[in-house]
Amino acid sequence: MTRTLSELGGEFAFIKRIARPTRSAAVEVGIGDDCAVVRLSENLLHLYTTDMLVEGTHFSRSYFTPEEIGVKAMESNVSDVAAMGGQPLYALISLALPRGVSGSFLERFYHGLYEVVDRYGFDLLGGDTTRGEGLVVNVTLIGATTPENLRLRSMAEPGDLIVTSGPLGGSAAGLRLLQAGIMGHDQVKQYHTRPRCALDRAAQIIPLAKAMEDVSDGLASEVRNICDASGVGARLDPGAIALREGIETSAALLGDDPLEYALYGGEDYELVYTVDPARRDQVVGSIVGEITAERELFLGQDRLRKFGYDHFLP
């Protein structure tokens, strides 16, 4: 009997099903965190992550410039390395190119890729190029960290504060405007088309952070991942979730609740991390809730029932 990904319980349930124990003793973390972690020596860990952008699913050439597609493909991968307390080292990129993609499109796309490579000082070492029906961009990124700086989703404990490194909801707000074809609101649209991950701020955050993850699928989903991995629960305070500037206005125009963008939208690429409550005064960002011993997720007084974006659930 064949079952669809939706019948298997969606993307997250599928990934849990296919994970199996790893062979090499050097693997510290396999499937299940923002990156896999492999120990190269006592003080050096390598991080592996890969993220794919698919035309029509993640972007449209009608409202992304080629440079922006390149930037987003790289920033989203750097974000996963930042979420582990690491620095990017080496990237590989694979492209499926539909007919009609021009040389100048590709030059501009690589300009965007290299903008990010140069921003963080890593190297692009290879890839693959093939023909496809739509444009597909897959980046694999290798990063490095130390055992001291490594931050996992499993490191949260009851009583910890939940902190976001910056305001959320911008990417979903921008996408809504772009898809609705609304003129203006360029700043909000750029939250979607020109994301910038939080690696620049990670050095300040790592000393404080216990569990950490990046916000690629929405705050609700990321907090659920941290809770699942740590065997804890959480209570989010809806009034404390900082929203990106300008999105309340654009959401009102569309009849949307901007808090939903932050909770369920994703692609904001901020960091969400937990902090010992004794260090409340040192927090970088906004305190949006706390970790609880009871393994339930609450948004204020209500149980959280909806999570982030899952491509494979109805």
Q: Which residues bind ligand ADP (CB under 6 A)?
A: 15, 18, 31-34, 51, 80, 216-217
Task: Sheet with 161-164: list strands edge to edge.
Answer: 212-214, 271-275, 161-164, 286-292, 233-236, 297-299, 302-303
For 24, the 3-state DSSP assignment is coil
**Within 213-252, which residues bind Mg ion (CB under 5 A)?**
214, 216
Q: How far is the CB of 83 from Mg ion (least distance, A)?
A: 5
Would you say 71 or 271 has its CB closer to ligand ADP?
A: 271
CA gap 12, 32 in Å, rounded = 9
Q: How many CB atoms lie within 10 A of CB 314?
A: 5
Tell the smallest beta-carbon distance from residue 20 to ligand ADP (Å).
Answer: 10
Q: Where are the beta strands (DSSP E) in 156-269?
A: 161-164, 212-214, 233-236
In this chain, which residue has its C-beta nearest to Mg ion?
34
3-state secondary structure of 215: coil
As beta bridge partners, residue 285 has none
The nearest distance, CB 35 to Mg ion, in angstroms, is 8
Least distance to ligand ADP from the beta carbon of 46, Å?
Answer: 14
By the rule CB under 5 A, 67 interacts with Mg ion: no
Query: Which of the listed partners (ligand ADP, Mg ion, none) does 51 bind, with a CB threshold of 5 to 8 Å by partner kind?
Result: ligand ADP
Check residue 75 for interaction with Mg ion (CB under 5 A).
no
138: partner contacted, choices Mg ion, ligand ADP, none (Cβ within 5-8 A by kind): none
Say if residues 280 and 229 touch (Cβ distance below 8 Å).
Answer: no
Applying CB under 5 A, the residues found at the interface with Mg ion are 34, 80, 214, 216
